[in-house]
Amino acid sequence: MSETLPLQAGNLPELTVSEIAGAVKRTLEAAFGRVRVRGEITEMKLYASGHTYLALKDESAKIRAIIWKGNASRVGMKPENGVEVIATGRITSYPERSEYQLIIERLEYAGEGALLARIEALRLRLLAEGLFEAVRKRPLPMLPRVIGVVSSPQGAVIQDIKTTIARRFPSHIILWPVAVQGEAAAGQIAAAIAGFNALVPDGAVPRPDVLIIARGGGSLEDLMAFNDEAVVRAAAMSAIPLISAVGHETDTTLIDFVSDRRAPTPTAAAELAVPDRIALAADLAQSGARLAGALLRLTQMVRLRLDRAAAGLPDLPALLGTARQRLDDRGERLALVMPALMAVRRATLDRMAGRLLHPRELIAASRHRVALLAQRLAAPPVSRLRESRLRLDSVAGRLESLSYNAVLARGFALAINPVGEPVTSARAAAATKRLTIRFHDGDVAVQTSLRPAKPAQPSLDL
């Protein structure tokens, strides 16, 4: 039976912790000099130093990763938690923690599926905010004086836009050069849109009347700058009408949803921005011809109506001759009627003068009336008082003869109800409980019976 002898401790080399950590580090770096790791970004944190620390995970494992500050602008995309990526870099270790980690040199989205999922999530969020509402769309100006273009200064895009605008309707073009792909592209595009909106209309650099955001075709990764949230929000906040022309006709980016008009190509965007000068001139000529024809027809119609009205008018010279003759006749009659009128007025005045009294006669009559008044005033006061008393007694006698007291003195009486009204019938007297009987020398209160007196029956003499 064989027997395993234990290893002698003296045969193993004695290593320090640093030596072991260094050996592991060298082994990892030699075995995994450059690798591509696919996973979902998690635990991402940007430190004040500019380094980015994160982790990549899948269903069953996780690896730490670092993006150094000097390489952050060249990794190809902006890392975000929850995004599935493919990281290219090298494996190393951190001896102080005895951890291995990935030094990331480049990041890219893990296939179109991850990109599309990220774009769709952003689209739904912006849709819920109302950034894609149709009421936000503004009409494009018909004849823009200045056209702003946000695009790359190289390539065929800007040349196509210039050529199309020069052919259709030459206008002033201002290019804001930006990168149209890469990590810095989204920030430059958003800054260009905001910069155009910040220009004043009459400044040294005129403010555009319409903006064109243009880029040629490319893969989904190449067009990601136009799916960036900052770019989409800048386009939505633009006060200048905006046309998006990103990619080919089949390409759709989020900026297309917030732009006022979407063009399938940059050339189509230029055609939307300016009208066709030849077609516009033809339409203007046609409108001018139609206007001239309409004015001619209107003039002919007015002339015809004027001729009809003139035919219905009488002969003006004949009317003038008749009026002149009537004026001469009235003048002749006026010359004859004035002396006759004066004679009639004079005869009337003579008759009235015969009726008028001479002032001496008027003065004599006035003096006579004054003498009579003076005579009456000269009478003694006693005589005047006696005459007044006689007149007063005469009036009092007539008044007394008309008073009902005289009737009472002849033996009649007056029945009065409690409210002071006279009672003139037996029925009214029977309906009143108390009455006052007024005689010529005083009043007597009586109480009446409730039964009215029966009317007297006529007697029949046989």
Convert the pLDDT of each residue in 177-233 to its tens digit: 999 988 788 999 999 999 999 998 888 899 999 999 999 888 777 788 898 899 999
Report how far residue 70's alpha carbon sits from residue 192's, in angstroms, rounded to the nearest whole number: 26
Which percentage of the chain shows pLDDT scores above 70? Answer: 93
Lowest mean pLDDT among 135-149, 247-261, 386-400, 439-453: 439-453
Share in percent of the chain as helix, strand, coil (round to 5): 50, 20, 30
Residue with the larger pLDDT of the pair 306 and 9: 306
Residue with the larger pLDDT of the pair 152 and 155: 152
- For 67, phi then psi, to 5°, come to -115, 110
Report how far residue 49's alpha carbon sits from residue 351's, in angstroms, rounded to the nearest whole number: 134
pLDDT confidence bin for 379, thresholds 50/70/90: low
314: left (phi over 0), alpha (psi -120 to 50) or beta: beta
Residue 147 CB neighbours (<10 A): 24
Task: Give the mean pLDDT of the chain.
Answer: 84
pLDDT confidence bin for 3, thresholds 50/70/90: very low
pLDDT confidence bin for 11, thresholds 50/70/90: confident
Query: Would you say residue 461 has pLDDT above 50?
Result: no
Query: Would you say residue 342 has pLDDT above 70?
Result: yes
- pTM of the shown model: 0.49
pLDDT confidence bin for 26, thresholds 50/70/90: confident
Residue 438 token pair: 């007024």
Q: What is the fold, at CATH topology level, of the domain defined by 143-275?
A: Rossmann fold (3.40.50)
Beta pairing class for 146-151 and 172-177: parallel
User: What would the mean pLDDT of 125-144 be, rounded to a whole number?
Assistant: 91
Query: Would you say residue 429 has pLDDT above 90?
Result: no
User: What would the mean pLDDT of 389-418 be, rounded to a whole number?
Assistant: 78
pLDDT confidence bin for 118, thresholds 50/70/90: confident
pLDDT of residue 263: 92
Q: List, in sequence order, every beta strand (DSSP E) within 95-178.
A: 99-109, 146-151, 172-177
The ranges of the chain annotated as CATH 3.40.50.9100 are 143-275
**427, amino acid identity:** R
The ranges of the chain annotated as CATH 2.40.50.140 are 17-109
**379, amino acid identity:** A
Report how far residue 77's alpha carbon sits from residue 64's, in angstroms, rounded to the nearest whole number: 18
CATH architecture group of domain 17-109 = Beta Barrel (2.40)
Q: What is the DSSP string of 304-320?
A: HHHHHHHHHS--HHHHH
C-beta separation of 145 from 171 below 8 A: yes
C-beta separation of 54 from 41 below 8 A: yes
Sign of the C-alpha dihedral computed for residues 164, 166, 167 and 168 taken in this order:
positive
Query: Would you say residue 450 has pLDDT above 70?
Result: no
pLDDT confidence bin for 451, thresholds 50/70/90: low
pLDDT of residue 109: 77
pLDDT of residue 331: 84
* Highest mean pLDDT (candidates 113-127, 166-180, 357-371, 439-453): 166-180
